[in-house]
Amino acid sequence: MNIRRASVAALRCWLRHHDLVNPAHLGSRLRLGFYASRATAATATTTNMTRILCVAEKPSIAKAVATHLSGGQYQTSNTRNTYIKNYSFTFDFGPPWGHCDVTMTAVKGHLTAVEFPGDYKQWEFPPPDSLFDAPVLTVVPDDNKSIAKNIEDQAKRATALVIWTDCDREGEHIGSEIRDAARKGNRQIQVKRARFSNVERAHILSAARRLVSLDEKQVDAVAARIELDLRIGYAFTRFLTLSLRPMGGPLQGLTLSYGSCQFPTLGFVVDRYFRVKNFVPEPFWSIKVMHERDGIKVNFNWARHRLFDRMMAVVLYERCLVARTATVTKVSEKPTRKFKPLPLTTVELQKMATRFLRMTGQQAMTIAEKLYNKGFISYPRTETDRFDRGMDLRALVRKQTQDSRWGPFAQNLVDGAFQQPRQGRHDDKAHPPIHPITYAAPQALDDGERRLYELVVRRFLACCSDDAKGVASDVEMLYGDEVFSAHGVMVLERNYLDVYPYENWSGTAVLPRFTVGERFEPTEALLSEGKTTAPSYLTEADLIALMDANGIGTDATMAEHIEKIQERQYVRTVPRGGGGAGDADDGSWPRTGWSCGAGRPRRGSGGGGGGSGVREFIPTSLGVALIEGFDRMRFETSLGKPFLRKEMELKMKAICEGRTTKQLVLRESIEGYRRVFEQSRAELNVLKAACRQELKHVGLVMSAVVFGRPLLEQNATLRIETPRRI
DNA sequence: GCAAGGTC
């Protein structure tokens, strides 16, 4: 083909066929005679292909994507960063680029960070509220400089950048950070983004051929969040620390931080604490009927459950006794099942680890990270509780058949008992549920890894098994004018329960036979008296569940916020059951001057605890004072409540949907927080009063006093003051 | 010395 004589249309077609150029840019370049010589050269040698730079959010994804795009045929080179490698290969992106030379590399999460200029580094001056409108700089932290430089250098030789970050808002923002780094090296570089939600081969290949643009709205939403967290966090932290420090004592050496996630987290702990403290037991009465038949004792439950009026209960009870016989009114027997668990998410993993493995959420995440890096489990940060239909789960089950503990169970699944896992409703579009990747022999793991790996495997096998099945029998009877019922289950097939010791099927008593219309005289009928009991203090699993439900933090950061409020001495944990006042105020604590508001000893209950290693969260008096202080200032929304974070979430969503803009959100939010700040400054005496009260008592007795009210006495008996918060 | 969000 003679290029100089060809029409533009024909040229376009030819160039496209030879994978040389994006036809959209052809016109201007043709006029410059750009392609005449280049195309000729290209026919002579095939090495002059379009260069594409691909960048993933993390090294593992870069490797996985490179493997799929190259068919395993890539060359690896090291960069100046230990964790980051560049993979070179060729790949046919289809039109307009066609067959390309590709370099695939990665960042490690966010590439940049925000900070205030040097003249705002001092805490005292300019005053903290100046941070609301101080300039904010975006910088590449030292740790990331080599990563940014690698992208900048690679971009110089590339026609286009393809961003392979996770398919979520943060991923979109990280994409914009990568774009900016690439443009530093090549201002002309085209920018595209691959949308993918797992690293399965066909999915990745299809994503590579269906590139989209970066979503600037999502980028803006995250940028707004980043800037607000910085301004508000720094301003309130400096304000709190500086205004309370002059009061001396333990306040002198502490950093009193505020953060949009750590404060609501503290708020949950304080809230539960008051519910326990202010709980007033109420007496109630209930009729208990037991009937023995065929050697089985059947307990019938009163349809009214319980009454808080003693006289009424007595009257109804007497009517039962007068009637003497009960009449069976309903008998039913029907198949029932106990559902197997959903595929494992990060939040679930943390809840289970804190309940059953005696780990903190933070420890569980660190261990999960290690297992992931060794290739034993999938990516441990995921919100997804449904497996992609295309995944070969049977192959993963087969890998577990060699284990002595759950191998036979896995083998049974392989031999035909396999069932597709349940499909949850969450999908983060970035990662599958947590599951084992390869088999890890117990000797290959340390103690913590072994226990967590076991949990992941058992959960996975349970997911691939069948629900437990049984027959439920229900009997209803009339005794006097009162209705009673009994429920029993006969377990027929345990299925997943055999591999999943974290659950059992309680109430599995088998009922003897009853027939409708029959009359019998109950073996026993009693009027029993009871008292309502206080809720338990929060366990870590409860706290994680609350944060999750209220959108406080992300799966990856919840454990960090929980650590943070302990580090700041806002809360502490005590073993459930062993955690009484004496325990909480052990020798180590008064050294800081803050007594801890632990209550009476409690026995394991609720929260799925059971294990003796479960710890519960109790606020220190400092934590109580901060939350109460802010609550008492009567803002429209207290800083200690989760609503502000939720509002931020809604605003981010609005930016993403184009209903508002980053600029508007920033302006509104900054003004809002500035008002809260002014009000806090004006009502500082409220906060100070709380702390002063506190300081006076420190070192005298081991009692926590907030706003002049004793919260607990030194001994373990609970003294209930007038409830102030319900 | 301060935040929250990624990731190793």
Could you report the per-residue pLDDT of A476-522, keeping only the tens digit for each? 999 999 999 999 999 999 999 999 999 998 766 789 999 999 999 99
Q: Look up the CATH number of domain A51-214.
A: 3.40.50.140
Give the whole-angstrom CA distance, residue A390 versus residue A204.
13
Q: Are A336 and A474 in contact (CB under 8 A)?
A: no
Using the Cα atoms of residue A179, residue A181, residue A182 and residue A188 in order, give the sign of their dihedral: positive
pLDDT at A128: 97
A532 beta carbon < 7 A from strand B? no
Structure token pair of residue A543: 């706290």
The C1' atom of B8 and the CA atom of A92 lie apart, in whole Å, by 32
Catalytic residue among A74, A379, A479, A537: A379
Q: What does DSSP say about strands A50-56 and A160-164: parallel, antiparallel, or unpaired? A: parallel
A74 is catalytic: no
Q: Residue A691 has what pLDDT?
A: 78
Angle at A123 between CA A120 and CA A127, to 5 degrees: 75
CATH topology of domain A346-463: Topoisomerase I; domain 4 (1.10.290)
Distance A6 CA to B7 C1' (A): 52
Q: CA of A184 vs C1' of B3, distance in Å?
A: 28
Burial of A301 (0-12, 13-18, 19+ CB in 10 A): middle
| Beta-carbon contacts of residue A433 (< 8 Å; ≥ 6 apart) | A342, A343, A344, A345, A378, A382, A384, A385, A386, A387, A424, A463
What residue spans in chain A does CATH classification 2.70.20.10 cover?
283-340+468-531
Strands A75-78 and A50-56, how do they pair? unpaired
Strand nucleotide closest to residue A553 (CA to C1'): B4
Q: From the alpha carbon of A84, which nucleotide's C1' atom is closest?
A: B8
Q: Give me the CA A365–C1' B6 separation in Å, rounded.
A: 15
Burial class of A617 by CB neighbour count within 10 A (0 to 12, 13 to 18, 19+): buried
Among candidate residues A404, A474, A485, A412, the one with its CA nearest the CA of residue A439:
A404
Residues 6+ apart with CB under 8 A from A423: A385, A386, A387
CA–CA dist A16, A35 (Å, integer):
12
> Which of chain A's residues 501-530 bind strand B, using a 7 Å CB cutoff?
none
Alpha carbon distance A345, A558 (integer Å): 13
User: CA–CA separation, A365 vs A361, rounded Å?
Assistant: 6
| Strand B proximal to A383 Cβ, under 7 A | no
Token digits of residue A374:
């060794």
In chain A, residues under CATH classification 3.40.50.140 are 51-214
Q: Is any atom of strand B within 7 angstroms of residue A243's beta carbon?
A: no
In angstroms, the Cα distances linking A682 to A78, A426, A585, A687 are 57, 44, 34, 11
- Which pLDDT belongs to residue A508? 63
Asked if the Cβ of residue A60 lies within 7 A of any atom of strand B, the reply is: yes
Q: Nearest nucleotide by C1' from A166 CA?
A: B6
The residue whose CA lies nearest the C1' of nucleotide B6 is: A109
- Under a CB-based contact definition with an 8 Å cutoff, are residues A628 and A270 in contact? yes
Could you give the CA distance from residue A597 to residue A697 in angstroms, rounded to a whole number? Answer: 13
Residues near A226 by beta carbon (within 8 Å), at least 6 away in sequence:
A114, A173
Topology given in CATH for the domain delimited by A283-340+468-531: Topoisomerase I; domain 3 (2.70.20)
Q: A115 with A136: CB under 8 angstroms?
A: yes
Q: Residue for token digits 């009960």?
A: A326
CATH fold for the domain made of A222-279+535-710: Topoisomerase I; domain 2 (1.10.460)
Interior angle at CA A444, CA A462 and CA A560, nearest 5: 70
pLDDT value for A614: 87
Q: Which residues of chain A have pLDDT under 50?
A: 1-46, 579-611, 698-726
Three-state SS for A62?
Answer: helix
| Cα gap A464→A401, rounded to integer Å | 13
CATH 1.10.290.10 residue spans of chain A: 346-463
Under 8 Å between Cβ of A353 and A347: no
Q: What is the pLDDT of residues A610-634, one digit of tens each?
A: 445 789 999 998 999 999 888 888 7
